[in-house]
Amino acid sequence: MGQFEELEWQSRYASGGLSRHQARSGTYKAYIPDPLSVRTFSFESAVAADVADAERDIGRLDIEARTLANTEALARILLRAESVASSKIEGLAVSAQRLLQADVARSEGDQITDATAVEVLANVDAMAYAIEGLELEITVDRILEFHRRLLAPTRLASKAGKIRLEQNWIGGTTFNPFGAAYVPPPPEHVPALLTDLCAFCNDDSVPAVAQAAIAHAQFETIHPFVDGNGRTGRALIQMIFKRRRLATRTLPPVSLILATRAQDYVAALQSTRYVGAPESPQAIASTNEWVSLFAASCSRAVADAESFEQRVEALRTEWRARLGPMRSDATALALLEQLPATPIVTARGVERALGVTYNAANAAIEAMVLADILTKTRSGRRNRAFEARELVDAFTDLERQMASVDDDTRVSEPVREVPSTPARRQ
């Protein structure tokens, strides 16, 4: 049964310039959830309807997405959007333009000085790994590999891909878990809970949207890493959608909605940490509350993604008209097809992506500059880059549109994860 376990905290800061409050020892309570494999789930009729609606909406986006006559461009846009939003929830905010410029700099072999952009790019790369392939089994090793890629280029690289061996907590002070908003299970419980979670993720007895919601909540409850738990847990959502073949070509940017409902999001997750039997009224009610919020967020994410796709398609049509008559094999037309996925380009990048000569790539860029589709963003002969400003603005507007999902909830300061020293069982 879900329960709190009382543990003894022995401070290592008994002296050394800290206040008594910071350096004190004492007892605290860590939460230990029920394994998911021992639970059965039942949903209220309204919640079941929300789940069914969300699955229909995600499936429609996956089937009907048509940007640029194929879904690759839209898939890359939504992958980037999901990664940016998931990072934003953790306090890593970066504009679309900054992220794209950092991505171009990386592709050109330039040094990236924007540390936040580096972390968000790592999230994009890790997300791309997470959703590779269809019907892949979700394993602890796969989750660890996602986490390794997520943290590898950061200051926490030594912790990348490693299950924590110490107690952590959320909120409160850096020095002890007293007053924390939430204290996850002690580290010795984590491996078994992760194994059980993966078994649940590979079972098809629960509807996919409900399964993703429950698995995400359980992952955040386990909090198996020193850092990066939120981003890894939200990647798990997309891994489940892929494995269940609900989203085979695109992914709904659910984190864009959760980022704007941060207070509701955190509160609903916290409510799933019940005390008592898994079949208790509290456990059932809290699960229904969370699954309902999650399903509604999925539906809203799909609606806004579809609206964004329509805007991109309209831009593409307008750009084609601006370019005027061209041969069907013109490099500029091929570049136009690629732009939604890569709104900032260089001649070398176009050369590599389209398999054309440098001169052809440069001529295509110049044609699009003359048509007022691209504008130069960086000076210098070696690092000339050009952006489709209208696309960057459209992505920014998408974020703003999703931010209007609830006038009473806005992104708040994140409750940060705090790694700590080992605790001793009382």
Q: Is residue 58 scored above 60 in pLDDT?
A: yes
Closest CA to 348 of 91, 24, 146, 105: 105
Model confidence over 199-212: pLDDT tens digits? 999 999 999 999 99
Phi/psi of residue 31, nearest 5 degrees = -95, 135
Strands (E), 251-364: 344-345
Name the fold adopted by 323-402.
Arc Repressor Mutant, subunit A (1.10.10)
Model confidence over 254-299: pLDDT tens digits? 988 888 888 899 999 999 999 999 999 999 999 999 999 999 999 9
Q: How many helices (H) and strands (E) does the chain have?
A: 16, 8
Q: What is the Cα–Cα distance from 293 to 51, expressed in whole angstroms?
A: 10
Closest CA to 218 of 287, 123, 302: 287
Distant-in-sequence, close-in-space partners of 401: CB < 8 Å, separation ≥ 6: 304, 307
pTM over 0.95: no
CATH 1.10.1040.10 fits 31-308, yes or no: no
Q: Is residue 214 scored above 90 in pLDDT?
A: yes
CA dihedral 304, 245, 59, 195 (to 10 degrees): -50
Q: Label residue 190 by pLDDT band (50, 70, 90).
A: very high
Query: Given the structure tokens 């846009």, which residue do they identify?
Result: 77
Q: Judge contact between 78 and 301, C-beta under 8 A.
A: no
Which residue type is seen at 321? A
Q: What is the Cα–Cα distance from 54 to 299, expressed in whole angstroms?
A: 5
Model confidence over 364-379: pLDDT tens digits? 999 999 999 999 986 4
Domain boundaries, the chain: 31-308, 323-402
CA dihedral 341, 342, 347, 349 (to 10 degrees): -80
Q: Apex CA 384: angle with CA 380 and CA 387, to 5°?
A: 140
Return the pLDDT at 14.
Answer: 61
